[in-house]
Every structure is written in C-alpha cells, then in structure tokens.
Amino acid sequence: MSDRLLVLVRHGQSEWNLKNLFTGWKDPDLTELGVKEAVAAGRKLKDEGLSFDVAFTSALTRAQKTLDLALKEMGQSGIPITRNLALNERDYGDLSGLNKDDARAKWGEEQVLIWRRSYDVPPPGGESLKDTLARTLPYYVQEILPCVLRGQRTLVAAHGNSLRALIMVLEKLTPEQILKRELGTGAPVVYRLNADATVASVKDLAG
C-alpha cells in the first residue's frame, strides 16, 4: 500500500504577527522566533520518521522560508517545490498593514471581530474565509491531492486561513467549527488519506 501522506504546516511567526498587524498578502519576513519555529517544525517531522517527495507553498516569503528551513532541518532541501498564490493568506484588503487595535478604533470592535471571525463577511477590499476556500480548494484538488493519492509524500507550508480552508474540507468541519480551529505557527498537522481522499488519521504535532 502506498503512503498517502499529507502534512500541513503554518508558517513561523512573521514580523507583522509580532507587531499585531493585519498581514494578508503583504510580505513581511519571519522573526527570529519564526525561524526557530520553522526549524522546530522540521525537527518534529524528522522525529516522526517522516520524509517527503514534493512540497507546495504560497507566493509569500514567510511561508517559503518556513518550508525551506523545515526541509533543511530534515536534510531534504532537494525535493521539488511548487509555489502558487492560490495558497496565499486570506487577503485582508483595507485592513492590511493596520494594527489590530487601530482597526478596532476606526471601525469598532464588533465589526472587526465580524471580519476576522465570520465565515463569509469580507473586510473592505478583501476576502472572507469563504472566498479563500474558493481560491485554495480547486488548487488542492487539481494539484496537491493527486500527488498524495499517487503515493507522493506531500508537505504544504502556507498560512492560517488558506490551511483552515483545506482543514475544513479534510475534516468535514462546518463554517462554525472551522472558525474555532486554531493553528499554531510552525505546528505540523499530519494526515494520512484513504484511497478515496478521505482522512484515515490525523495527528497534530503542536507543542
């Protein structure tokens, strides 16, 4: 039987995570802690005895660097990597680059909370989680899932909301359930899939 392995990992802490800014499609680098989280992700995967044949990441530096650091830690830097903006973080539109406290002062705490935590209400000029799913899921189905089902062990390094969109589908979560699902920075989630693309097992390597 082939090993239908899919691992999702959220990028390590970015400079804008640290500053409490809405990031979206902006492109800050990892912090020193973020670098350590990415290396630790690679170490956790190595300790699990996992290795990979292919990897996917977004068009943004923080995810790409997390992937590179994790693979280097595993001694696997040579595998094929595909970068695509379909895996980018949710676009926060007019909120991008704003401090979250400043956004609350401008639009009100309740409105900002709705934008951050509702499933289908986008911020001005940006994407809702539903919009992010509509962008990310077709890419997963067309490009990533076929690799997994062929038995290619696949690692995806991306962002909180683009990965939430995939987790929602993999774990058959409702819009309400996915909004409560937290994804730690640099914490791999290990899936093994059945031949029909459903999840056989899931293991969260957080902590």
Query: What pLDDT, on the 0 to 100 scale, is given for residue 207?
Result: 66
- Which one is predicted more confidently, 147 or 180? 147
Q: Which domains does the chain have, with CATH numbers?
A: 5-187 (3.40.50.1240)
Query: What pLDDT, on the 0 to 100 scale, is given for residue 1?
Result: 46
Q: What's the token pair of residue 63? A: 């995810």
Nearest in space to 59 (alpha carbons), one of 146, 129, 158? 158
Active-site hit among 11, 37, 73, 159? 11
Q: Is 89 a catalytic residue?
A: yes
Q: Is 15 a catalytic residue?
A: no
Active-site hit among 37, 89, 127, 159? 89
Average pLDDT over residues 149-162: 96
Query: What pLDDT, on the 0 to 100 scale, is given for residue 107?
Result: 95
Query: What pLDDT, on the 0 to 100 scale, is given for residue 198?
Result: 96
Q: What's the token pair of residue 193? A: 């899939």
For residues 87 and 165, what is the distance between their CA atoms, to the nearest angstrom? 10
